[in-house]
A and B are shown apart, each in its own frame.
Chain A
Amino acid sequence: MNDWIAIGALALVGLLIPLGMMLVSYLLRPTVPETSKRATYESGEIPTGGTRVRFNIQYYMVALLFLVFDIETAFLFPWAVAYLDAVESDAISLLEVLGPMLLFVAILLIGLAWAWRNGAVQWAQTPRQVEADSDR
């Protein structure tokens, strides 16, 4: 139970320090209200339009494609770490070391190829291009 008292005290101090800093600055600072201070911060630019913007679905496509590579990395790293030891050991054949990863990458590649061929990486089109496309 003693450990928990220490952790609780740490959490309390962790909360008190930022709250105390905010309180002190609140008491010390001069208050000069100004409209530009209340506006949404957009990297120094003057904000335009509302915040509920409709994003192009292409962003979503790119995020999904990113997932292919993301998962690939997540599994490739631990595999690469164990690879050299596995190759040197006599208990496992090269096929058993290399095969599953090649299969895995091949499956991901099929997914990527499918997305590519079905236009997931074609960047957003202007209305005129879309018209030209549908005429074909």
Chain B
Amino acid sequence: MAIYELPEWTALGPALILAVTALALFAFDSISPRSTNRQLLAGTAVAGSLTSLGVAVWFTVAGVGTPTADGGNGVIDPTHGFVVDQLALYFMIIVAVVTALIVVASYDYLVDHAYQAEYYSLVILAATGMSLMAAADSLVTILIALELASLPSYALVAILKDNRGSVEAGLKYFLIGSLSSAIFIYGISLVYGATGHLELAAIAEVVSGETEAGSGHDITEMGGLLGLGILMLIGGFAFKTASVPFHFWAPEAYEGAPAPISAFLSSASKAAGFVVLFRVFTEAFPLGEIGAVIGFDWTVAFIVLAIVTMTLGNFAAATQDSVKRMLAYSSIGHAGYALIGLAGLTADGGELVMGAAMMHLLVYGFMNTGAFLFVALAEHWGVGRTFEDYNGLAAQAPVACAAMAVFMFSLAGIPPFGGFFSKYFLFVGALEAATASTAMLVVAAVLVINSALSLYYYSRLVKAIWIEDPPATRDRLAQPTGLYAAIIVAAVMTIVILPGFGPVVDAALDAAGAVVG
């Protein structure tokens, strides 16, 4: 196969392409800082993210990371601290897709904005970090990739410099982000202190007692230290995935940030947080052995977190008046759904439930990005923020509103759309895991109850858009090409993913099986 001729470092191609794109944008901005050539800037960013997407899809099809037994090229170890397997490529695809969508949409959103090149290069830089997070398999590279994704995000949230809400959101996001980073680093240091290693595979060896006796890493005495470190790691990941207990930045940051950035953070950034979470906990702390060392299984922690996050996100979303805030809380709720993927793992299985969580993150990448981009469109029109302000938009912009209805029903998990299938798989996976621990029955029940509740506030928005009468004094609404294109692509993908769900299911289950098994 042609892929064999490439050197191993090219396996990180999707991330490297994004990095080169970001640097090219910076270089362009250095050469002509006052350029108003928006087409060139946005075009470069779109080309970069689409190339990254193409390369990631090509690698997946060509069998990079597929185990050799299944006719693939095996897991590739491009350089120290990184690994490219199916899991990494799957999430690189999600990140690239979301990046491409929001960059296209930003073209219209950013009309008259002073910092064009900076905006695009920061977006691509953050995407580079998220893409690298998917492939990182050492705690150090994970931390650096996580910071590379976070630092540009702080600036992006606050990029509307004259908007009080944006600046305030940026500051809050930054403060909570630094706090959780500090906790995360402390967790890393404790894990390192207890095991003496930073690479995930080496940590797993120490945890399962495979290192020779007398090598100075007698893990049984360090159980408390390691357990504390693991809890702190969970704290760091909870920030990145916007789940309890570090969820409270999300509504503030998403509401204040420019809507495309909210879409970016709530879809790509969340997915990147989850891939690291999946990888760290399945590879470094194998379920069978870790319980003996630290005294509890980490699935217990995730069962609690999943239940609390789902419930809190959905109940808070149901009481919101502002559409963007409602979407922010619903995004917290969806983080809870994805957490089921870890809660349902068992020592010898669980790839169905984890694969379901990964499917959900992919579908979510389309439907949630689309929903936030519709908010971006509404901000572009200047119609206002609350549900009442959205009344009767369908009469004036039926296409975009039809797309919005698709996103809402898909987010709620109504059958004909992609969101139903991923939720269905999550439910089935949770029930399957319930044979091992009855607590998963509670999780499955909470999932159903919350989905039913979420239908209430999602359909409330659809009702406002489609059924209520528009106010008499609204001007004609413009039809910005970029925003429309991104929204329609996202809507089409949310529907098309249904007939195309077979390959997605296979890809997700393979990737989950590879790390769980």
Chain A positions 80 through 111: 1 when the CB is less than 8 Å from some CB of chain B, otherwise 0: 00000000000000000000000000010011
A124 vs B52: C-alpha distance in the bound complex, in angstroms?
Answer: 41
Query: Using an 8 Å CB-CB cutoff, how does the interface string of B4-38 with A read, 1 for contact, 0 for none?
Result: 00000000000000000001001101110100000
Q: Is the CB of A117 within 8 A of B29?
A: yes
Decide if A110 touches B33 in the complex (CB within 8 Å). no
CB-CB nearest in chain A for B27: A110
User: A118 to B116, alpha carbons, bound, how many Å?
Assistant: 13
- Let me know if A59 is at the binding interface, CB within 8 A: no
Residues of A within 8 A of B30 (CB): 110, 113-114, 116-118
Give the A-B contact count at a CB cut-off of 8 A: 21
| CB of B280 to closest CB in A, whole Å | 27
Q: What residues of B have a CB within 8 angstroms of the CB of A111 in the complex? A: 26
Q: Could you tell me the distance in whole angstroms from the C-beta of B208 to the nearest C-beta in chain A?
A: 33
Q: Would you give the shortest CB distance from B147 to chain A, in whole angstroms?
A: 13
- Interface centre among B29, B30, B33, by most chain A C-beta atoms within 10 angstroms, is B30
**Contact check: which of B23, B29, B31, B33 meets A107 at CB < 8 Å?**
B23
Q: Which residues of A contact B26 (CB under 8 A)?
A: 110-111, 114
With a cutoff of 8 Å between Cβ atoms, the chain B residues found around residue A116 in the complex are 30
A85 to B33: give the CA distance in the assembly, Å: 43
A-chain residues with CB within 8 Å of residue B27 when the two chains form the complex: 110, 113-114
CA distance A57 to B31 in the complex (A): 24
Beta-carbon nearest neighbor of A113 in chain B: B30
Report the Cα distance A110→B31, complex, angstroms. 10
In the complex the two chains form, what is the Cα distance from A111 to B30 in whole Å?
Answer: 9
Contacts of B23 in A (CB 8 A): 107, 110
A110–B26 Cα gap in the complex (Å)?
7
For B33, the chain A residues whose CB sits under 8 A away are: 117-119
A116 to B30, CA, bound (A): 8
- Closest B residue to A119 using CB positions: B33
Cβ of A89 to closest chain B Cβ, rounded Å: 19
Alpha-carbon distance between A111 and B22 when the two chains are bound, in angstroms: 11
Q: In the docked arrangement, what's the CA distance between A116 and B26, Å?
A: 12
A28 CB to nearest chain B CB (Å): 46
Binary contact readout B423-457 vs A (1 if CB under 8 angstroms, 0 otherwise): 00000000000000000000000000000000000
Alpha-carbon distance between A133 and B23 when the two chains are bound, in angstroms: 29
Q: How far does the alpha carbon of A111 sit from the alpha carbon of B23 in the complex, in Å?
A: 9
Complex CA distance for A118 and B29, rounded to whole angstroms: 8
Most buried by B among A107, A114, A119: A114
Output the least CB separation between B489 and chain A (Å): 32
A78 to B1, CA, bound (A): 40
Q: How far is the CA of A119 from the CA of B31 in the complex (A)?
A: 12
Cα-based distance from A110 to B125 in the complex (angstroms): 14
Shortest C-beta distance, B378 to chain A (Å), equals 32
A113 cross-chain contacts in B, Cβ below 8 A = 27, 30
Tell me how far the C-beta of B80 lies from the nearest C-beta in chain A, rounded to whole angstroms.
Answer: 12
CA A84 to CA B27, docked complex, whole Å: 32
Chain B residues lying within 8 Å of A118, measured Cβ to Cβ, are 29-30, 33
Interface, chain A (partner B; CB < 8 A): 107, 110-111, 113-114, 116-119
18 other A-B residue contacts (CB within 8 Å) besides A113-B27, A117-B33, A118-B33: A107-B23, A110-B23, A110-B26, A110-B27, A110-B30, A111-B26, A113-B30, A114-B26, A114-B27, A114-B29, A114-B30, A116-B30, A117-B29, A117-B30, A117-B31, A118-B29, A118-B30, A119-B33
User: What are 17 sample pairs from A and B whose C-beta atoms fall under 8 A apart?
Assistant: A107-B23, A110-B23, A110-B26, A110-B27, A110-B30, A111-B26, A113-B27, A113-B30, A114-B27, A114-B29, A116-B30, A117-B29, A117-B30, A117-B33, A118-B29, A118-B30, A118-B33
A-B residue pairs, 4 tightest by C-beta: A113-B30, A114-B30, A117-B30, A117-B33
Which B residues are closer than 8 A to A by beta carbons? 23, 26-27, 29-31, 33
